[in-house]
Amino acid sequence: MTDYRLLEEQIKGLAEISGEMVSLMSNASALLYEALSDVNWAGFYIVRPDATDKTAQPIVSEPVLLVGPFQGKVACVRIEKGKGVCGTAWEEDKTQLVPDVHKFPGHIACDSASNSEIVIPIHHNGEVVAVLDIDSPLLGRFTEDDKVGLEGFVRTLEKCMEYN
Ligand code: SME
């Protein structure tokens, strides 16, 4: 069982040194990747203007999730609202606990080794500004206890991170 209280203390300690978003997300993904057993990806997608869509018309398009700091294999760069597990967590503003990603309609497979996933929305001023995404090669890797623990971790991160 992961010691989420310890992880919260560790992220608080890191935030006392710097709460800068990229720095804190980088160390948060490293902490989670080390502390959780059987995970093959841990990191963040950040809500951003869709500047990377080279096919978009010059008129400003809707914001998307762009990949942020993470640990694991090279991942999908941009995810639209409502797409995949991450885009669903963003649209619904609700944690997605997915015991079998192959049964999740529209799941985006970044690493074919992934079988289960949890995605938690991150807020600033009441809006979803990013999501925390963790993947596992095991089916049903994430439990209700992990959900509660990771949501607590994200609440701590929201309090100490300087969003930019
Ligand atoms: N599986 C995610 C995409 C991100 S990767 O897992 C890192 C999804 O369906 O949104």
Local confidence band at 52 (pLDDT 50, 70, 90 cut-offs)? low
DSSP string for residues in 62-79: --EEEEEEEEES----EE
CA 160 – CA 91 distance, rounded (Å): 24
Q: Output the pLDDT for position 130.
A: 98
Main-chain dihedrals φ then ψ at residue 60, nearest 5 degrees:
-60, 130
Residue showing tokens 């990771």: 150
Q: How far is the CA of 9 from the centre of ligand 1 (A)?
A: 27
Helix (H, G, I), strand (E, B) or coil at 88: helix
Does ligand 1 lie within 6 Å of residue 107's CB atom?
yes
Does ligand 1 lie within 6 Å of residue 46's CB atom?
no
pLDDT digits (tens, 9 = 90+) for 82-127: 999 999 999 999 999 999 999 999 999 988 999 999 999 999 999 9
Does ligand 1 lie within 6 Å of residue 39's CB atom?
no
pLDDT digits (tens, 9 = 90+) for 4-20: 999 999 999 999 999 99
Question: Amino acid identity, residue 96?
Answer: Q
Q: Output the pLDDT for position 1.
A: 85
| pLDDT at residue 51 is higher than 70 | no
Residues of the chain with pLDDT > 90, as a percent, come to 88
Which of 76, 97, 134 maximizes ligand 1 atoms within 8 Å of its Cβ, making it the mutation to test the pocket?
76
| pLDDT at residue 65 is higher than 80 | yes
Nearest alpha carbon, ligand 1 atom 3: 108
Local confidence band at 164 (pLDDT 50, 70, 90 cut-offs)? confident
Q: How far is the CA of 17 from the centre of ligand 1 (A)?
A: 30
Nearest alpha carbon, ligand 1 atom 1: 108
CA 38 – CA 51 distance, rounded (Å): 34
